[in-house]
Chain A
């Protein structure tokens, strides 16, 4: 005999999943906070190498910021579209999120590549170690988010936009907005902060 999962059991599961995911994001925030603290402490330890003001271009970082904010926006609207059963629109917006996220990651890797090519890699000084680790950790999160988004897109095409999918998609958007938030701090502290010092 097949038994349907009761609605209360499912809603309890959903509450727990959302709550736990929030807590995970908060622990991730502590992780980033430690990296920010490290960066702040080491940012003047350039060991005779270039400083933040000499290396970073806030305009370029602003471009990255705009791209990432747009992807956050499209992911949010995608969640709404799925909720109102506009599945094709939702999938389109999800694709846009992935494209924008990938563009962000490419531009970031381009910046890293330029720095390394100029000889200013993470080996150059403690300051650059801190920079590459902080920004790189964010980039790694973006990469995992892209894999996740791709899997969500594949699932929606293969199985349709089920209630199960909507629940999981909500978690993905939390993750994506969270990365946006962390990026805002990176933009402010690393790139704008470079001008201040």
Chain B
């Protein structure tokens, strides 16, 4: 009988509810705020609206907005984690213990890294690509609208799993890449590592599908006349990113699956006994992990290329070299992974090869930096918020890149490996590159989606606060790292280091102020949306096709698909005199109907993930089976499109005058 009971409950047990006060607060706060949100939607009678306009929508722009909202909420969580980490190190020098227990501290830094990379940076990336890329290509939608929705809901399911761990079971304490044998069964039998594995696994499959989707969209859905070298740089950067996603994410899937097999079926891939090889895990995870950082940063490069050309009122300098630089980075990013563990002891020759390849990446990246600077040179620059984000990026990212080249020297890396110097380096490039890039992009393209601009001065203040906060938070970490401060410790015995940690803690608060200012910017702009309305569709005198449609962009993007002549097509048209398409040019168009399949697949994936974490096989197996059945059933459906006739389009595009 007890065997049956175990079969039903798996390893669910009361002891997994949080015990220490910090976590209990979060564990109560989160479900309460979720309930409040549900109550609010019910009170406002918005469920039907939410369902038809958002949750089941296959419009890439809406899916993109949902990605961005999830990512911004997760940014708050990741930032709160960062604040806790720095609070702990600022309060626990010498004999003081600080507010967090060691185990909580480990969970917090693991959650911080996992959330910031997978659910903030990736979310912002997929969000912005969905929102703006089809418009830049002169396309109606992504190549596979339904798969797009499935990707989003898998991402959302992974996000829910990460947050669920806070309420029940706890998160992994093994760092954001979960190195075994620490994350193996022997040292980590609890559910935390499984939460980490399955949230990444589910979100990762969504990312892989997105990669395929973006790639096909770029290669097959461009407007007529848009040859590859007439395509704006942002889609180019997304193309390169999708190649990296398609080649790298399957490795992540396999690596996580093998770690999970070690943990659930008692296999021996990465155990320290029975022939397992933990270093194999580290090689595999970085064979995915290094391309991953380029997956994040290359689209940010693309965003800056658009922003700087628009606000300098010039054609982008060195377009072709930009493209070749992207392709060079794409290739090089796969042959540098070993620089993350020079200390493994692979030998001088191997380390020298990976060290040199790492330094070589600085060349195409440098080409891009100089191209942006030359685009600004003798341009008519307007210092709007996106431009301030760009300038902050140039300074911050370059410093981060240079510290990266320092660490590419294996001899020096032995000194700073796994110290706070490394932590400062990668925050330098990720915050300076990815975060500043996506803030610039969100500010820049905001009116195209919502129909009103973001308040510029608050945006600039946000950028300044981020920049100052960043310097305060991370320059001390460089110094500490050089002095030998190992990362991921909750207590440093040397009291002489304390002032640096305090400055760093203050820096986090200034960054939090920057996030607050950004939130204020959105709220204030919403309040003042009448004054900030973009009635022209082209608020910045833009250059590319997205500015040729009204703001907010119609759900079908283009009433008449444009024929492209030039790289900066919209600029070219404005020089030539814009003409409206004649009535004969309007044609019937087809768009995909709404579908709840994405939501269903995401929901089933969430159930599956939760069940497998808690060893509830009787739920996990049917849930996985149902996913397969739903997808196979869907592939056999036909008739999933609806028509907008040429007349309707013409009337909508030309208003009452028609």
Residues of A within 8 A of B (CB): 1, 3, 5-6, 9, 12, 15-16, 19-20, 23-24, 26-28, 30-31, 34-35, 38, 41-42, 45-47, 122-127, 129-130, 132-133, 144, 147-148, 151-152, 155, 162, 164, 168
Q: Contact check, A6 vs B588: say whether CB atoms are below 8 A apart.
A: yes
State which residues 205-219 of B face A: CB under 8 Å: 208, 211-213, 215-216, 219
**Residues in B whose Cβ lies below 8 Å from that of A30:** 246-247, 250-251
**B44 on interface, CB distance cutoff 8 Å:** no
11 A-B pairs (CB sep. < 8 Å): A12-B220, A24-B212, A27-B249, A30-B247, A34-B250, A45-B276, A47-B268, A47-B273, A122-B267, A129-B258, A148-B632
Q: With A15-B220, A126-B275, A127-B275 in contact, do A3 and B645 touch (Cβ < 8 Å)?
A: yes
State which residues 588-646 of B face A: CB under 8 Å: 588, 590, 628-629, 632-633, 635-636, 638, 641, 643, 645
State which residues 405-458 of B face A: CB under 8 Å: none
Docked pose: A12 CA to B143 CA in angstroms: 10
State which residues 124-151 of B face A: CB under 8 Å: 143-144, 147
Q: Which of B250, B262, B265, B277 contacts A28 (CB 8 A)?
A: B250
Closest to B633 in A: A151
Q: Contact check, B632 vs A23: say whether CB atoms are below 8 A apart.
A: no
Task: Identify 19 new A-B residue pairs, CB closer than 8 A, beyond the known A31-B253, A144-B628.
Answer: A12-B220, A15-B220, A16-B220, A20-B144, A20-B147, A23-B216, A27-B208, A27-B247, A30-B247, A30-B251, A34-B250, A34-B255, A38-B254, A42-B275, A122-B261, A123-B265, A126-B271, A126-B277, A132-B267
Q: Contact check, A27 vs B250: say whether CB atoms are below 8 A apart.
A: yes
B283 to chain A, nearest CB (A): 9
**Residues in A whose Cβ lies below 8 Å from that of B251:** 30-31, 34
Docked pose: A35 CA to B247 CA in angstroms: 14
Q: Contact check, A20 vs B216: say whether CB atoms are below 8 A apart.
A: yes
**Residues in B whose Cβ lies below 8 Å from that of A129:** 258, 261-262, 267-269, 276
Docked pose: A149 CA to B193 CA in angstroms: 36
Closest to B268 in A: A126
Chain B interface, >50% SS class: helix
Centre residue among B147, B638, B645 by max chain A CB count within 10 A: B638
Docked pose: A126 CA to B636 CA in angstroms: 41
**B12 on interface, CB distance cutoff 8 Å:** no
**Residues in B whose Cβ lies below 8 Å from that of A16:** 143-144, 216, 220-221
* B256-281 vs A, Cβ < 8 Å mask (1 yes, 0 no): 01100110011111010111110010
Q: Contact check, B277 vs A45: say whether CB atoms are below 8 A apart.
A: yes
Q: Contact check, A19 vs B220: say whether CB atoms are below 8 A apart.
A: yes
**B293 on interface, CB distance cutoff 8 Å:** no
Docked pose: A106 CA to B275 CA in angstroms: 29
**Residues in B whose Cβ lies below 8 Å from that of A144:** 628
Q: Contact check, A125 vs B208: say whether CB atoms are below 8 A apart.
A: no
**Residues in A whose Cβ lies below 8 Å from that of B284:** 34, 38
Q: Contact check, A122 vs B277: say whether CB atoms are below 8 A apart.
A: no
State which residues 61-86 of B face A: CB under 8 Å: none
B52 to chain A, nearest CB (A): 22
Docked pose: A133 CA to B254 CA in angstroms: 10
Q: Contact check, B268 vs A168: say whether CB atoms are below 8 A apart.
A: no
Closest to B144 in A: A20
Q: Contact check, B277 vs A41: say whether CB atoms are below 8 A apart.
A: yes
Q: With A30-B250, A123-B267 in contact, do A133 and B144 touch (Cβ < 8 Å)?
A: no
**Residues in B whose Cβ lies below 8 Å from that of A148:** 632
Q: Contact check, A46 vs B208: say whether CB atoms are below 8 A apart.
A: no
A33 to chain B, nearest CB (A): 8
Docked pose: A45 CA to B253 CA in angstroms: 23
Closest to A125 in B: B275
B228 to chain A, nearest CB (A): 16
Docked pose: A148 CA to B629 CA in angstroms: 9
Docked pose: A24 CA to B151 CA in angstroms: 14
Q: With A31-B254, A41-B280, A129-B267 in contact, do A23 and B588 touch (Cβ < 8 Å)?
A: no
Docked pose: A145 CA to B276 CA in angstroms: 32
**Residues in B whose Cβ lies below 8 Å from that of A28:** 250
